[in-house]
Amino acid sequence: MLKLSKKAEYALMAAKFMAMKNSSGYSTAKEISESCMIPYQLVAKVLQNMVKSNLAISAKGTNGGFSLAKNPIDISVMDIIKSVESNYKLVDCLQPKSSLEDCSHLDCCKIRDPLIEIQRKIDKVFSETSLVQIL
């Protein structure tokens, strides 16, 4: 239905939160959870995903937390979405070497190429929107 997942929304919120807190300190998952009214466990997961994708860095223990790993201008909305959405794609056949396991229609499908082009354009929208544009 072309909807952004809650995870993606939460990731954007968290990223914005960290970007706003320009003081170089850490933001904790609890802090973000309460500020944005997001379930704690969920935002914690999302933040962990961002760390894995090298968008954020984390510090354990007392006074620990999360902070952005790069300058907000260098983080795109696409980066954030991809950090939490393992398979972000319009259709199942986008890999150049997609097989019938990806989609049983692959060998008779007559709309694949145009959809790949549309995907390219949508990717562009997300890639060209930087975190600073949502501050």
The smaller minimum CB distance to ligand SF4, of residues 16 and 82, is found at 16
Q: State the distance between the two ends of the chain, measured CA to CA, in whole angstroms.
A: 27
The interface partner of residue 59, options being ligand SF4, its own copies, DNA, none and the CB cut-off 5 to 8 Å by kind, is: DNA
> Where is 34: in which H helix or E strand?
helix 29-36
CB 52 within 8 A of CB 44: no
Q: Kindly state whether residue 73 participates in binding its own copies, applying the rule CB under 8 A.
A: no
Residue from 11, 65, 75, 81 touching DNA (CB under 7 A): that is 65
Q: Does residue 125 touch ligand SF4 according to CB under 6 A?
A: no
Report the nearest approach of DNA to the CB of residue 48 (Å).
4
Alpha carbon distance 50, 57 (integer Å): 8
66, 29 Cβ separation under 8 angstroms: yes
What's 130's DSSP letter?
Answer: B
C-alpha span between 130 and 65 (Å, rounded)? 23
Q: Which residues bind ligand SF4 (CB under 6 A)?
A: 9, 91-93, 103, 105-106, 109, 111-112, 115
Q: Which residues bind its own copies (CB under 8 A)?
A: 1-5, 9, 12-13, 16, 36-37, 77, 81, 85, 87-92, 104-105, 108-111, 114-115, 118, 121-122, 125-126, 129, 133-134
